[in-house]
Structure 1
Amino acid sequence: MPVLHNLVSNKELKARMLAETEPRTTVSFYKYFQIADPKAFRDALYIGLTKLKVFGRVYVAHEGINAQISVPASQYESMKAFLYGFDPALNNLRMNIALDDDGKSFWVLRLKVRDRIVADGIEDNSFDASDVGNYLKAADVNAMLDDPNAVFVDMRNHYEFEVGHFDNALEVPADTFRDQLPMAVDMLKDQKDKKIVMYCTGGIRCEKASAWMKHNGFDDVYHIEGGIIEYTRRAREQGLPVRFKGKNFVFDERMGERISDDVLSNCHQCGVPCDTHTNCVNDGCHLLFIQCPSCAEKFHNCCSPLCMEESKLSPEEQRTRRAGRENGNKVFNKSRGLLNMTMAIPLPEKK
Structure 2
Amino acid sequence: MPVLHNRVSNEELKARLMDETFRRVTISFYQYFPIVNPQEFRDVLYRSMNELGVFGRIYVAKEGINAQISVPEHNMEAFRSFLYSIPHLDGLRLNIAVDDDGKSFWVLKIKVRDKIVADGIDDPAFSMERKGKYVNAREMNELLTDPNTIVIDMRNHYEYEVGHFDRALEVPSDTFRDQLPMAVDMMRGNEDKNIIMYCTGGIRCEKASAYMLHKGFENVFHLEGGIINYAKQTKEEGLDSRFIGKNFVFDNRLGERITEDVIAKCHQCGQPCDTHTNCANDGCHLLFIQCPSCAAEYEGCCSKECHETIHLPLERQKELRQGTDNGQHIFNKSKARLRPRLNEGKF
* TM-score category, normalised to shorter length: over 0.9
Given that 1:207 and 1:223 are in contact with CA atoms closer than 8 Å, whether structure 2 keeps it comes out as yes
The alignment status of 1:340 with 2:341, answered yes or no, reads: yes
Counterpart Cα distance in 1 of 2:338 and 2:278: 16
State the partner residue of 1:22.
Answer: 22
Aligned with 2:42: secondary structure?
Answer: helix
Structure 1 letter corresponding to 2:332:
K
Fraction of identical pairs, as percent: 61
Given that 1:4 and 1:47 are in contact with CA atoms closer than 8 Å, whether structure 2 keeps it comes out as yes
Q: CA deviation at 1:312?
A: 2.1
Question: Residues 229-240 of structure 1 correspond to what in structure 2 (within 5 A)?
Answer: 229-240=228-239
Q: CA deviation at 1:217?
A: 0.8
Counterpart Cα distance in 1 of 2:49 and 2:183: 37
State the partner residue of 1:187.
Answer: 186
TM-score by length of 2: 0.95
Given that 1:328 and 1:342 are in contact with CA atoms closer than 8 Å, whether structure 2 keeps it comes out as no
Q: CA deviation at 1:123?
A: 1.1
Q: Judging changes above 3 Å, is the alpha-carbon distance between structure 1 residues 5 and 314 closer, same or farther for their aligned structure 2 residues? A: farther
Q: CA deviation at 1:336?
A: 4.5
State the partner residue of 2:138.
Answer: 139
Larger CA deviation: 204-213 vs 120-129: 120-129
Question: Residues 86-125 of structure 1 correspond to what in structure 2 (within 5 A)?
Answer: 87-125=86-124
Q: Deviations over 1:254-303 (max 9, x none)?
A: 00000000001000011000000000111111100000011111111111
Q: Deviations over 1:185-221 (max 9, x none)?
A: 1111121110100000000000000000001111110
Counterpart Cα distance in 2 of 1:240 and 1:24: 28
Alignment RMSD = 1.6
Structure 2 letter corresponding to 1:251:
F
Structure 1 letter corresponding to 2:270:
G
Structure 1, unaligned stretches of length 5 or more? 345-351
State the partner residue of 1:61.
Answer: 61
The alignment status of 1:39 with 2:39, answered yes or no, reads: yes
After TM superposition, the runs of 4+ consecutive aligned structure 1 residues lying more than 4 A away are: 341-344
Q: CA deviation at 1:323?
A: 2.4
Larger CA deviation: 49-58 vs 236-245: 236-245
Counterpart Cα distance in 2 of 1:178 and 1:197: 18
Q: CA deviation at 1:179?
A: 1.2
Q: Deviations over 1:217-274 (max 9, x none)?
A: 1111000110011111112111111211100000000000000000010000110000
Structure 1 letter corresponding to 2:339:
L
Q: CA deviation at 1:337?
A: 4.5
Q: CA deviation at 1:107?
A: 0.8
Number of residue-to-residue matches in the alignment = 342
Q: Judging changes above 3 Å, is the alpha-carbon distance between structure 1 residues 330 and 341 closer, same or farther for their aligned structure 2 residues? A: farther
Given that 2:303 and 2:341 are in contact with CA atoms closer than 8 Å, whether structure 1 keeps it comes out as no
State the partner residue of 2:333.
Answer: 331
Q: CA deviation at 1:339?
A: 3.8
State the partner residue of 1:254.
Answer: 253
Given that 1:154 and 1:199 are in contact with CA atoms closer than 8 Å, whether structure 2 keeps it comes out as yes
Q: Judging changes above 3 Å, is the alpha-carbon distance between structure 1 residues 67 and 337 closer, same or farther for their aligned structure 2 residues? A: closer
Structure 2, unaligned stretches of length 5 or more? none
Structure 1 letter corresponding to 2:218:
D
Q: Judging changes above 3 Å, is the alpha-carbon distance between structure 1 residues 113 and 198 closer, same or farther for their aligned structure 2 residues? A: same
